[in-house]
Amino acid sequence: MDSLQSIKQRFGIIGNNLGLNRALEKSLRVSNTDISVLVIGESGVGKESIPKIIHQYSHRKHNKYIAVNCGAIPEGTIDSELFGHEKGAFTGATQTRGGYFEVADGGTIFLDEVGELPLQTQVRLLRVLESGEFIKVGSSKVQKTNVRIVAATNVNIIDAIDKGKFREDLYYRLSTVDIALPPLRERKEDIVLLFRKFASDFAQKYHMPPIQLDENARELLADYRWSGNIRQLRNVAEQISVLEKERKINASRIRSYLPDRESQLPALVNKKSNESDFASEREILYKVLFDMKSDLNDLKKVTLDLIKNGSESEIAEKNQNLIEKIYGKESYPKEKTNIDSVPLNSDVPDISKTKSEDKYDYVETIEEEEPLSLHEKELEMIKQALLRCKGKRKLAAKELGISERTLYRKIKQFDLNDIES
């Protein structure tokens, strides 16, 4: 088995950090087995190097190695990409296509960002891990595959399981062996080595002398909190190599290319979430609909009280909060009605009766006519035509715009033989 140094040279890995060396040793130990491996680490730490090492030092090295970014494939097509589809399985499926698991049979598949997989796809992936079986989209035939799966993620899988976004059984099946890559801020001794490597590569690429750092600049790079890890360091090295005229760089020049350090400090996060906070838009919509239903029921109750009692002021005072919630505080006028005193013995009609009777005087009563059916309308038109033509069926047929034969059939159908001139 090759030494760690030869592996680093072969795959372009730079650094002597203990955490990095431990991850490489675990990769070598599991390479000759078919154990599922889960690579854990922040974005930009170089997780894609681990599955390449595992594949190249395994007995599958002469077969295919396929890397799949699960977060970059749309949810509607990811099943087709991974497992294939039959012709006509969906719109645009003009021919049968093999998925990655079928193409990479006997090889290795690297599932990057596996935490972004939809739950439905996670069920299919679990079956492949358990039995090596899968079914194409739109097919009923079970196919077998012999694939080594190496997965990677930069999200906290435990939190995703608690939120219901990742299956717990799939996590334990994928993480037979966990390989954790340390972030760049924990590899301070490797930061300057990586910067020199990137500066040398860009100097060769752009045909210019390499960048050199003074002591203060090296200390600044080592103390900086690299949130983007190796990817961010590489971008900074490329910017400096292209934009700086001077090849000797001090700390002040380096600082101009780095975001504010204070903004990079870890923020305090209040983990206590309010009960009104929601994890998804669907729950927000449910809450809005339930609130609308509750308001509608309250309005129905107020309307029913108004119809029964007829006392607007009393009902308005009793349901003031509801009215202000729906109409606002200023949009609902509170009018004072002055009622003149009337002697009890005077001949005055009953106000309660006249008020309730006159309240809806402005409403126009519409008598709804029963609509005639098509059958009745046809019968009536034939009768009128026969009466106007004094029983002459030829003239009646011409007036109705139908043939005489059709009129005879209608007369027989509706039993109109008794209509005469």
- What CA–CA distance (Å, rounded) separates 215 from 209? 19
pLDDT at 344: 45
According to the model, what pLDDT value does residue 184 have?
Answer: 94
Q: Domain 185-263 belongs to what architecture?
A: Orthogonal Bundle (1.10)
Amino acid found at 181:
L
**CA atoms of 233 and 215, how far apart (whole Å):** 18
Predicted model pTM: 0.61
User: Which residues are 98's β-sheet partners?
Assistant: 84
d(CA 382, CA 261): 93
Question: CA 362, CA 103: separation in Å to the nearest integer?
Answer: 79
Per-residue pLDDT of the chain (421 residues), as tens digits, is 568 889 999 999 999 999 999 999 999 999 999 999 999 999 999 999 999 999 999 999 999 999 999 999 998 899 999 999 999 888 888 899 999 999 999 999 999 999 999 999 999 999 999 999 999 999 999 999 999 999 999 999 999 999 999 999 999 999 999 999 999 999 999 999 999 999 999 999 999 999 999 999 999 999 999 999 999 999 999 999 999 988 899 999 999 999 875 455 555 445 444 444 445 666 777 778 888 888 788 777 777 777 667 666 666 676 777 666 666 655 445 444 444 444 544 454 554 444 444 544 444 454 445 555 677 888 888 888 888 888 888 888 888 888 888 888 888 888 877 765 5
Contacts of 154 (CB under 8 A, 6+ apart): 40, 41, 42, 43, 47, 113, 115
Q: Specify the amino acid at residue 171.
A: Y
| Radius of gyration (C-alpha) of the chain in whole angstroms | 41
The burial class, CB within 10 Å (0-12 / 13-18 / 19+), for 116 is buried
* Helix, strand, coil % in the chain, rounded to nearest 5: 50, 10, 40
Fold of 4-182: Rossmann fold (3.40.50)
pLDDT (0 to 100) of residue 336: 45
pLDDT by residue (tens digit) across 172-214?
A: 999 999 999 999 999 999 999 999 999 999 999 999 999 999 9
Strand extents, DSSP E, 119-209: 133-135, 142-144, 148-153, 177-180
Q: Which amino acid is at 142?
A: V
How many other C-beta atoms lie within 10 A of the C-beta of residue 394?
10
CATH class of 374-414: mainly alpha
Phi, psi at 261, each rounded to 5°: -65, -35
pLDDT of 401: 84
16 Cβ contact partners less than 8 Å away, ≥ 6 residues apart: 189, 190
For position 209, what pLDDT does the model report? 92
Residues 96-135 pLDDT 10s: 999 999 999 999 999 999 999 999 999 999 999 999 999 9
**Domain extents in the chain:** 4-182, 185-263, 283-334+351-358, 374-414
272 by DSSP, 3-state: which? coil
Q: What percentage of the chain has pLDDT greater than the value 90?
A: 56
